[in-house]
Structure 1
Amino acid sequence: MAKELHVVMLPWSAFGHMMPFFQLSIALAKFGVRVSFVTTPRNVERLPKVPSSLASLIALIGLPLPHLQNGDLPRGAEASTDVPFHKIPQLKMAYDLLQDPFQKFVAHQSPDWIIIDFMSHWAIDIAQELQIPVMYFSAFSAATTSFVGPPEYLTGEARMKVRPSMESLMSPPPWVNFPSSVAKKKHEAFQMFKFFFGSNGTPFSDVERLARVMKNSRAIALRTCCEFEGPYLDLLQQLHGKPVIPTGFLPPDMHERTQLNDQPWKDTFKWLDDQKPRSVVFIGFGSECKLSKEQIHEIAHGLELSDLPFIWALREPEWAKDETEFLPPGFAARTRGKGIVTLGWAPQLEILSHESIGGSLFHAGWGSMIEILGFGHSLALLPMIADQGLNARLLVEKGLAVEIERAEDGSFSRDGIAKALKIAMVLEEGEPLRVRAKQAAPIFRDMKLQHEHYIGQLVQFLKSRQTK
């Protein structure tokens, strides 16, 4: 009888990373793979519930986040969403201190594989010491991973030849051997050059971590599929000279929807029921994007100017004293009956699947893109952080989205918001975009392709290289 395959997952403590790792864990467990998902206790509490049918195969392991000697993290902060941007280095330092408890856990478990994130460079030493193969699972698109480049171009003299300046990030790198518009804009290039290639406040920069993880992994897995990013996946295979394995998009199962019993959400869905099919735009920027007062107000004014019905899932901003400061004066009164603003958590899948939703204004995060395109909605993009700008260029390149116009400093206007929304939702010039979005949906929702084919291939790869 074949030995049960056991995989340990180690994501970075950000929900944009933990959720893809969690979804991959679910997908592997459906193939009978035993998974130990390692994070911290509070993050375990905030993850979705493991389906009861898979509970015997998935263990959520909460290793206590070590305290920093300077006590420089807010109490209870265990994920990037819990801390302001300038405190992320402290979170990284605390995360790095998980090395010892993780080593003890892995030594006791003796798994067949360790699947890690780019931040977990120290897991390489543990794996090598215990002779356990490592796979790097990228939560990013193949286009983004290609843009970043192979390990030899990420550090040292080679990096300085191809990435000597911020400006060098504003065009596709020389190793992209086909037409591509995936590159950074000026304000994004500044951020990437400073915080990815530069110091991140810890002994190891982000780019040094990534280079070490990619170089020492047996294989690289990515949350994408050949039908959507074929050329970029082929390029990654050439660049890295090791197996590059698409996992599929890991789309959420529609039967996992939440039962909405509270009255405000019942009222919201009653309002949605009364709208015309595909007429409403959904606005959501997730938990990681912390919008400023000026940004929220410009989005609000842009929604008004577009004259489109909308539902906006707005995260309560830390800078606001109360609800009166969230939105421009009089906005609620002027848009009453035309749109709804909800604060805090929102049942995004349930909203997106409603027949009245026709498009979305969002940050171009990879996970959100997968959910939204799965319903064939048109896309208006306002990228904010990390890989989102590169995702936006990819989606525009594919004719699936319109990106909001911005100044060199990254600022945007209400007119730009309204213009992009109208193109995405109603104007004739946006019709090809809407058609292509509908045509793309079957790829994202084809569970046989996304689960049986891609996860099946991944499981076969993992089994073929079992070392014990």
Structure 2
Amino acid sequence: MDSMPNKKKLHIAMFPWLDFGHMIPYLELAKLMAQKGHHISFLSTPQNIDYLPKLPPNLASLIDLVKLPLPHVEKNNLPKDAKATIDVPYNKVPYLKKAYDAFKDSMARFLKDSHSNWLLYDFVPYWLPASSIPNAFFNIFTAAGLSFIGSKAHLDKCKNLEDFAVPSSWVPFPTIVTLRFFRVMKIFQDNFSRDKFDVMALFRFGKVLDGCDIVAVRSSMEFEPKWLRVLEDLHRKPVLPIGQLPPVVYDNGYETKTWVWTKDWLDKKAKGLVVYIAFGREAKPSQEVLIEIALGLKQSKLPFFLVIRTGQGQANTELTKLLEGFEERTKGRGLVWSSVVEALQFEKALILLTFYADQGINAKVLEEKHIGNKHDGSFIRNSMAKSLRLVMVEEVDKIYKDKAKEMKGMLGDRTSQDRYLDSFLDYLISHLKNICT
């Protein structure tokens, strides 16, 4: 453990949004900071805490997993057993945010009693910047994604959904990073339904960005130098990249039967020609889209490894399944069983399909850098098969694979990640008194 013996040890509280796409990066950062000898309090609901990956034994004493029961809110349409976004349909997420807001009192008590030095929190608890300790908005989105939202002043001027479907006026360089209108509708539709929800998502972002002491971004100067500068210009406060947080695999030396079987299957395939398809921790394609993807895989004639979630939590019981007989028709060529950072860490070229939240912006960022081929959004089997062959076997695939190899050195570099972490922790230590007094 790199415990930084000559530096002050901090007690850092972390309060992520109830989304495993947020909780996992928060936990990765918690583990990295604990490796430096800092004490971490990681707060979430009991069910979410129990569902998180087990902590490495050498860090367990430095990371307190604090269980806060999700408060009950009267007249809230949140399904009974929902404790995270994975448990609810997309249109029910605002009700989960409403329950999350009821953490306000218990968080105030925790911060008072725990004597934490710093608080790292997410975009949802707009009421936390009023806390009495130094605080940082830890943003798990790309710097480009956060820049796209703009400052609180910009958000206050946005009156229509169309305002988000045009290039941002505050970005001083040409870019393709913007959203198509249908994606804007998906992400921001609740912001223009004032009679339905108490607090709109964009209001939360605006308040958090305006009220936090600093902004910590899961990014790097090597990956997003221009966008990080845009963020500082927008918010007039320190914006600190903390690296990409590539996950650290703790090998316990044990190989499961499933892995042995999977490895045997992979070893029989040509190197670099197996397509891996996953939709992230939260996104679940519709039945129609999944069928089109499956048929596109079949038409591509490429070997593939498809990861699907048949359901989505206790409170979201809608099932998705493949066409009857699909596994049999692709037998020997496909297995039916992630994140961008994990894929690029292993030099994998990307085909970018967007379903959820910030995925559209992320895809545009990667497309602009020629790291991945963004599918046009029409999940028709023919275009799906064409995209697969373009990236995997056609001559143009070398562009994507070369870029993926380049990104591996950037995103998977542990020395670089350690440097960003040290810089971030140095800032937290050196600015304790400046902010507290």
TM range (shorter): over 0.9
Q: Hey, what does 1:394 align to over in structure 2?
A: 365
TM-score by length of 2: 0.93
Could you tell me which residue of structure 1 aligns to residue 408 of structure 2? 441
Number of the residue aligned with 1:191: 186
2:9–2:38: 8 Å Cα contact kept in structure 1? Answer: yes
Residue 134 of structure 1: how far off its partner (Å)? 1.2
What letter matches 1:139 in structure 2? I
Find out whether 1:111 has 2:95 as its counterpart.
Answer: no
The one of 56, 62, 67 aligned to 1:57? 62
The answer for unaligned runs of 5 or more in structure 1 is 343-347, 349-367
Partner of 2:3: none
For residue 153 of structure 1, what is the amino acid of its counterpart? H
How far the C-alpha of 1:3 sits from its partner, in A, is 4.9
Note the alpha carbon deviations across 1:252-276, whole angstroms, 9 max, x for none.
Answer: 12335784423x4432221111111
Letter in 1 for 2:389: K
TM-score normalised by L of structure 1: 0.87
For residue 140 of structure 1, report the CA deviation from its aligned partner.
Answer: 0.2
Is the 2:8–2:429 contact (alpha carbons within 8 Å) kept by the matching residues of 1?
Answer: no
The answer to whether 1:373 aligns with 2:344 is yes
Partner of 1:31: 36
CA distance in 1 between counterparts of 2:191 and 2:278 reads: 26
Query: Is 1:135 paired with 2:136?
Result: yes
Deviation, structure 1 residue 235: 1.2
Q: Does 1:286 align with 2:280?
A: yes
Contact 2:70 / 2:100 at 8 angstroms: preserved in 1? yes
| C-alpha spacing 1:55/1:444, structure 2 compared with 1 (3 Å) | same
The aligned residue for residue 222 of structure 1 is 217
Preserved contact between residue 29 and residue 245 of structure 2 (Cα < 8 Å): yes
Residue correspondence of structure 1 range 75-86 to structure 2 within 5 A: 75-86=80-91
Gaps of at least 5 residues in structure 2 are: 1-5
Separation in structure 1 between the aligned mates of residue 288 and residue 360 of structure 2, nearest angstrom: 20
Give the secondary-structure state (helix, strand or coil) at the position aligned to 1:209.
helix
SS at match of 2:302: coil
Contact conserved, 2:179 with 2:361, CA < 8 A, in 1? yes
- What are the equivalent positions in structure 2 for 1:262-341 lying under 5 Å apart? 262=257, 264-317=258-311, 326-341=321-336
CA contact (8 A) 2:15 2:43 kept: yes
Determine helix, strand or coil for the equivalent of 1:458.
Answer: helix
Give the one of 159, 183, 206 matched to 2:201: 206
How far apart are the structure 2 equivalents of 1:401 and 1:224?
A: 18
Q: Work out whether residues 300 and 385 of structure 2, in 8 Å CA contact, stay in contact via their aligned partners in 1.
A: yes
CA contact (8 A) 2:76 2:95 kept: no
Aligned length: 426
C-alpha distance in 1, partners of 2:44/2:72? 15
Cα deviation for residue 201 of structure 1 reads 4.2
Shift of 1:91: 1.0
Are the structure 2 counterparts of residues 259 and 180 from structure 1 closer, same or farther at C-alpha, using a change threshold of 3 Å?
farther
- CA 1:320–1:113 in structure 2 vs 1: closer, same or farther (change >3 Å)? closer
Alpha-carbon displacement from aligned partner over 1:366-397 (angstroms, at most 9, x marks no partner): xx111111111010011011110011111010
Q: Distance in 2 between matches of 1:92 and 1:151?
A: 20
Matched, 1:92 2:58: no
Contact 1:280 1:308 in 2 (8 A): yes
**Contact kept in structure 1, 2:56 and 2:250, CA below 8 Å:** no
Measured after TM superposition, the shift of residue 76 of structure 1 is 2.9
How many angstroms apart in 2 are the aligned matches of 1:86 and 1:167?
20
For the 8 Å contact 1:133–1:218, the answer to whether it is kept is yes
